Structure 1
Amino acid sequence: MRISTKGRYSLEALLYMALLPQGEYTSTRSIAEKTGISDGYLEQLFIPLRKAGIVQGIRGPQGGYLPGRPLEEITVGDVLRAVEGPLELVACVNDNSTCPYKETCISILTWSELYHEITECVDAISLGNLVEAYYAMDKMEYAI
């Protein structure tokens, strides 16, 4: 499984937004200036994020975007599924799979276990966790 720029940039933009004071709207232009992600690309990414309720937007000169739910309720998995789609490594892991060998396939156990591990991991990390990690990183002393 490979996370595309859609997943990485969405998470980076959301983390930027999460670090702003609570309730403060920000524009995609502002996010673009601070992160180096194209404004147009951010607009495209925010379409599925809005549909998933991960961000909310308001139009107008004082408008912009902010997280659509409390930071502790938005997981990395939510973000990735919104912009990347299902996190399944192979289609046969899906309950709706019509693979004729699904019942007798030996390797499906491997793919299923891997899918569950990945899902458990990304669903355990919230934006709130990432914000805490960001501030903790700032306080760390580095030694070489």
Structure 2
Amino acid sequence: MNPSIPFLSHPHSHFHLHFMASMPNFFHFPLYFLVMFVILGTGGLIMNFTALQTNGLKLMLSIAQKSNGAPVQAPVLAKFENLKVGYVGKILFKLRKGGLIQAVRGKNGGYSLSRNGTEISVFDVLKALEVKEFDNQVCPNVRKNNPCAHSLDCALRPVMQSIDHYIEKLTSSISLTDLIQDEKEMVGQLQQMGM
């Protein structure tokens, strides 16, 4: 049985995102333990979603669930997600700039999805909220301008690149509509996808 990695889990939200991403077949046990060493050595999972991305996904789900075609106002979203209105406004601005939501003016205005939830993937949301969603191809030490003896020839680099590609492929295959279900149903869907 292939080991699996939960790469997004947010237990404090009204929904619980917990994707179990099975490691690709090329991850034999020695390499798997090497990857796990890197994961634990960096203080967390190799790919970490930022608070902005996680809250952005929560807001997108709230809009999809609450709107029913009608716009949802920022204060309503902020109260439901227990976030500050100003912070929610910043996230909504990025989501609108990314073409994922649209703003409706007027007394009954607010925000609604710019297209059907089936056409918006998790990756779309992550990309709209961060320029560099996945930055695992560069080691933490190099990112801090520290020299690395393996910068020209690093066997770990293609491993990181493969993990990035795998996670991008997975998040691109999960739509916003897919997430509007309970955790058990989500796990079942991922299992059907071979994850």
For the residue of structure 1 that corresponds to 2:66, the secondary structure is: coil
Number of aligned residue pairs: 129
Decide whether aligned partners of structure 1 residues 23 and 136 sit closer, same or farther in structure 2, where only a CA change above 3 A counts: same
- Pair 1:122-2:122 in alignment: no
TM-score of the superposed pair, with normalisation by structure 1: 0.79
Residue in structure 1 matched with residue 136 of structure 2 by the alignment: 90
Structure 1: unaligned runs, 5 residues or longer:
93-100, 138-144
Shift of 1:108: 2.1
Q: Which ranges in structure 2 are unaligned for 5 or more consecutive residues?
A: 1-46, 139-149, 187-195
RMSD over equivalenced CA pairs, Å: 2.3
User: What's the TM-score once normalised by structure 2's chain length?
Assistant: 0.59
Partner of 1:112: 161
Q: Is the 8 A contact 2:137 2:160 kept in 1?
A: no
Q: Residue in 2 aligned with 1:44? A: 90
- Whose helix fraction is larger, Structure 1's or Structure 2's? 1
CA distance in 2, matches of 1:16, 1:134: 16
Q: Which amino acid aligns with 1:117?
A: Y
Q: Which amino acid aligns with 2:96?
A: R
Q: Secondary structure at the match of 1:66?
A: strand
Secondary structure at 1:20 match in 2: helix
1:13 and 2:34 equivalent? no
Residue 34, structure 1, aligned to residue 83, structure 2: no
Give the % identical residues.
Answer: 27
SS of residue in 1 equivalent to 2:94 = helix
Partner secondary structure for residue 65 of structure 1: strand
Please report how far the alpha carbon of residue 130 of structure 1 lies from its aligned counterpart in structure 2 after TM superposition: 0.8
**Higher strand proportion, which one?**
2
Q: In structure 2, how many angstroms separate the alpha carbons of the residues matched to 1:57 and 1:134?
A: 30
- 1:136, distance to aligned residue in structure 2 (A): 5.5
- From the superposition, tell whether residues 134 and 90 of structure 1 become closer, same or farther in structure 2 (CA, over 3 Å): closer
Selected match of 2:68 from 22, 25, 48? 22
Please name the residue that 1:79 is paired with: 125
Which amino acid in the other structure matches residue 44 of structure 1?
Answer: K
